[in-house]
Amino acid sequence: YMVKAVSLSRWPKEAGDIDTEIDGVMQDAALSITGYTTFYVRRESDFYLPEERGSEMYQQIGGLYRIMADET
């Protein structure tokens, strides 16, 4: 899954701080999925996608997460 923080800013610090908080919650999270046993949640890669729209700059920082689960 792609999970990202987006901020309206010329600088990536705010989005980076939010991304750090998200990763702290997501990495090795104990998920509850009805009918499944969760083995792990892991961040597999990072991304940084600045985007300029007219005079505004958006910072997108996040990661791709893999959720491994087995049907019970």
Whole-number pLDDT of residue 14: 98
Whole-number pLDDT of residue 3: 98
Cβ contact 67:46 at 8 Å: no
Q: Which phi and psi (to 5°) does residue 22 adopt?
A: -60, -45
Average pLDDT on 44-71 reads: 97
Average pLDDT on 51-55 reads: 97
Q: Tell me the torsion sign for CA atoms 28, 31, 33, 36.
A: positive
**Full-model pTM:** 0.86
Whole-number pLDDT of residue 5: 98
